[in-house]
Amino acid sequence: MVVAAQKQEYNSYSTDGEKIRKYFIRKKDKIIFVMNQRKELIERLSRRIGTQFGDPILDVSNPKLREKIRLFMNHYNNNGEISDTEKVDDLSIIINKIRNNTFHGSKVYDDEEDINLLSIINPIIESILVECELFLQKEIL
């Protein structure tokens, strides 16, 4: 995901998270298509709670970010409404946070909850890459 985002983001001073967010906003219609196509996974993701502090979906230390993720969760649990732009932005933040936790330390390869989270998010990422980048074949012959 980062590589696809970097391909289109030439500002080397941007963080990976900023590049992913800009990429998602640029590809908003395709991301929404994937979110609708993978609605059952998005709904499973929205029902998840962080394992350490019980935050919505995953534990985050930033209160503004925690609130943003809570609104995303509420939308998919029929407790609120957010725009398509917010859905896409929120998903980009969630994916980037999971990526950071995976590569920088707080996800454990054999932790059951971490495996469950990755089993939800990986097919969503794969679908985004297929839809936005034609990265993988949609059908295997």
Q: What are the pLDDT tens digits along the chain (141 aa)?
A: 555 555 555 566 678 889 999 999 999 999 999 999 999 999 999 999 998 889 999 989 999 999 999 999 999 998 899 999 999 999 999 999 998 888 876 666 678 888 899 999 999 999 999 999 886 655 544
Q: In angstroms, how far apart are the furthest CA atoms of the chain?
A: 47
| Number of compact structural domains in the chain | 1
Size of the chain, expressed as the number of residues it contains = 141
**pLDDT score, position 48:** 95
**pLDDT score, position 136:** 60
Residue 99 domain-assigned?
Answer: yes
Residue 127 domain-assigned?
Answer: yes
Structure tokens at 78: 């029929």
What does the H/E/C string look like for 40-94? HHHHHHHHCECCCCCCECCCCCCHHHHHHHHHHHHHHCCCCCCCHHHHHHHHHHH
Alpha-carbon distance values, 71 to 46, 50, 80, 82 (Å): 10, 15, 7, 7
Residue 138 domain-assigned?
Answer: no
- pTM, 2 dp: 0.85
Structure tokens at 97: 């946070």
Residue 11 domain-assigned?
Answer: no
Q: Over the Cα atoms of the chain, what is R_g?
A: 15
**pLDDT score, position 12:** 63
Structure tokens at 140: 């295997």
**pLDDT score, position 108:** 65
CA–CA distance, 15 with 98 (Å, rounded to integer): 15
Range(s) of the domain holding residue 28: 16-133
Residue 1 domain-assigned?
Answer: no
Residue 101 domain-assigned?
Answer: yes
Q: What one-letter code names the amino acid at 47?
A: R
**pLDDT score, position 102:** 81
The SS3 assignment for 56 reads strand
